[in-house]
Structure 1
C-alpha cells in the first residue's frame, strides 16, 4: 500500500507539500499540484483517515442517540441525518437507547471514546440522563426535537402546539363538535404541546373540552389501542379524535376495528407525524406532517455550524407543520346520539 512518502518521492516534492495539496492548507503552484495529483493517481494512494483525524483533531464522524430507530418516525429522521452526512462526507454512528438511562449513558461514553466531532440527541428519556451531558460541556450537541430543553444545546423543534391546532381545527371544520384527544405521556414536551394546541382550538371554537375524552397514551401502538379502548368504554363517545402521533393512531384504528366501528363513518381520526405508513393504512390516515428528512438534515447542518463556531449563541430553529388530509377524517353528515 502506497504511503505519503512514496507519493512525495514520485512527485519529487516533500511530504509536507503532499500534505498541503491534500488538505489545501497552503498555496501550492499549479505545476507542483499537478505532479502530486498525478503521483497519487498512479500509486492509488488513499490518505489514512485515522492519521488525518489525529492531525486536525476531527474524525468527520457524528454520533446520534435515538430512542429507537425501529419506530417509523425516528427511522425517517435518521434517514435524513444519514443522507445529509453522506452528502457532506461524514460518517454516522447511530445508537439506540431503547428508553434505558443506563444505555443512554453508556452510548454517550462510547461515542466520546470514538472521538466523534459532535452528537445529535433524539431521546425521549434524555432528561433522565441529562447529567451525563453536563460532564462533557465541550462536546457539540444538537437536540433534534426530543430531549432535555434545559440542556442549553442547539435545538431543532417541531411547533407542536400549532400542529395540534391544525388537527383539531380540521375536525371542527368538518362539523365535529364532540372531539376527543389521545395524548402522549404526561411530562413529554411533544405530548403537552400537541394537547395545548387541541385545547386552544377547542376554546377558540367555543367547544367544551371534556376530561373523560382525553386519554393518555405512550406514543406507541399498544398505548394508542389501550387509550382508544378506554374512550370507547365511555357512556358518551366523541365523534372524532385527534391522536398525538401516528403510531398511537394505528393502535386506535385496531381498537375501533375490534369494536366493530368504522373510520371515518363512526369516528374520524387525525394523527401526527405523517409517517410513510400513514398513506398505506385502511383507511389512509389524515395526519400532521413533520418534515422529517428536513429535520434530520437541519440537525446535521446545525451541529456542523456549532462545531465550526463553538462560542456562538444558542440556536433554536422551529419547523412548520402541515395538515395532510386523507380518508380517516370526514364531515359529520348528520347529528347523531352519542354513546
Structure 2
C-alpha cells in the first residue's frame, strides 16, 4: 500500500506538506498541490479512511437502519426507491452508506452501539418500529438522525401528509356514491394510527363516521395477508361497496381474493391502494391509489441529514410532503 511517506520521497516534499496537499489545506501552493496529487494518482495512492476520519473528525459514513415487518428488505417497493434516492444524494456529498443491524459478527450490539462501532456521522431510519427501546435509545442520542414516515420532535423527519392522502382517497370514494367503506390497515404502528385518525376526520367532514367494524387489521406489503383478510371480509352478510387498503402490494392480495370469490372489479366492489408504486399501474384493473413521491423523500432526507452533520447550528424539523391521487380503473360509481 502506498503511503504519504512514499509520495513525499517520490516528489521531494515533506510528509507534512504531502498530507496537507491531499487533505485540502489552504497553506499549500496550488502548483505544489497539483504536483503532489498527480504523483499520488500515478502511484495508485488511496487515503486510509481511519486516518482521514481522525484528521477531519468525520468518517464520511452515514448509517441506514431499515426494517420492515415482512422482512422484504431492500426489495421493498416503496422504500427501495426512497433509499436509492437517499444513497445517490449522500454519495454526491462524499458519504458512504452503511446498513446498521444489531450484530457485529457473533456479538450482539444495540443499534446505537453499532453506529458507534462503525463511526457513522449520521443515521437515517426507515420503516421500523419506532416504539422499541433500542430505537428510542437512538432518538435520545446526540447522533444526527432523520426518520422516514415518522414525526418526533427529538429528530428531523420526512413524511407524507396522512391527512391529505386519506382525504384524497375517501373523498374520491364518497363522490362516487360509496358510504359502506372498509379500511384494511397495517400493523398498529405510528403511521397506521396517523392514517386512521386522518381517515376518521375525512369521514367527519362529509358527515360520516368510521366505526370498529370498518377498521380491519391486515399487514403492510403482504399479498398473502391482503388475500386472507379480504376473503374473510367478503363472507359478511353485507359486504362493503368499497375497500381502502393500506398499500398497493396488500391491495393486490385483496384484488385477487375478490376475483377468486367470483367478483368483478370495479363492477361488484371498488378497491383503492396507497403509495403509488409502479406495479399498481401495471395491474388490470389499474389501481386507484395515493402516490408518495419516494424519490423526492429520499433526496430531501439525505440533504437534510448532510446539513445536520456538517452545520452544527442546523435545526431539527419535520418535512411534510403532499401526496397526489392516481385515478385507475378499480373504482366506479355506486348505482
Question: Where on the TM-score scale, by shorter chain, does this alignment land: which range?
Answer: 0.7 to 0.9
Distance 1:217 1:105 in 2: 32
Q: TM-score, normalised by structure 2?
A: 0.87
Say whether residues 1:137 and 2:141 are aligned partners. Answer: yes
What secondary structure is seen at the aligned counterpart in 2 of 1:272?
coil
1:258 and 1:3 map into 2 onto residues whose CA distance is 67
Distance, in Å, in 2 between the alignment partners of 1:85 and 1:308 is 12
Q: Distance in 2 between matches of 1:202 and 1:287?
A: 18
Deviation at 1:78, TM superposition (A): 1.9
Q: Which residue of 1 aligns with 2:87?
A: 82
Tell me how far apart the structure 2 counterparts of residues 35 and 210 of structure 1 sit (CA, whole Å).
74
Q: Which runs of 5+ in 1 are unaligned?
A: 98-102
User: Whole-Å Cα distance in 2 between the matches of residues 125 and 105 of structure 1?
Assistant: 17
Describe the shift of the 1:190–1:173 C-alpha distance in structure 2 as closer, same or farther (beyond 3 A).
Answer: same
1:105-184 to structure 2, matched below 5 A, reads 106-129=110-133, 130-133=135-138, 137-146=141-150, 149-150=151-152, 152-184=154-186
Work out the CA distance in 2 between the residues paired with 1:260 and 1:105.
Answer: 51
Residues 131, 172 of structure 1: alpha-carbon distance in 2 compared, 3 angstrom cutoff: closer
Deviation of 1:64 (Å): 1.0
1:321 corresponding residue in structure 2: 323
The two structures have a TM-score, normalised by structure 1, of 0.86
- Is 1:4 the equivalent of 2:9? no
Partner of 1:100: none
User: Is the Cα–Cα contact under 8 Å of residues 187 and 220 in structure 2 kept in the other structure?
Assistant: yes
Using the TM superposition, give the Cα deviation of residue 210 of structure 1 relative to its aligned residue in structure 2, in angstroms.
4.8
Superposition deviation, residue 54 in structure 1: 2.4
- Of the candidates 50, 55, 76, which is equivalent to residue 71 of structure 1? 76
Q: Which residue of 1 aligns with 2:231?
A: 229
Count residues in correspondence. 324
Shift of 1:178: 2.6
Give the secondary-structure state (helix, strand or coil) at the position aligned to 2:289: strand
CA gap 1:151/1:315 in 2 versus in 1, 3 angstroms:
closer
Distance in structure 2 (CA, Å) of the matches to 1:175 and 1:20:
71
Offset of 1:96 from its aligned partner?
Answer: 6.3
Provide the rounded CA distance (Å) in 1 between the counterparts of 2:83 and 2:13.
44
Q: How does 1:235-254 map to 2 (within 5 A)?
A: 235-254=237-256
CA contact (8 A) 1:104 1:126 kept: no
Between the aligned partners of 1:195 and 1:279, the Cα distance in structure 2 is 25
What secondary structure does 1:127 align onto? coil
Contact 2:200 2:209 in 1 (8 A): no
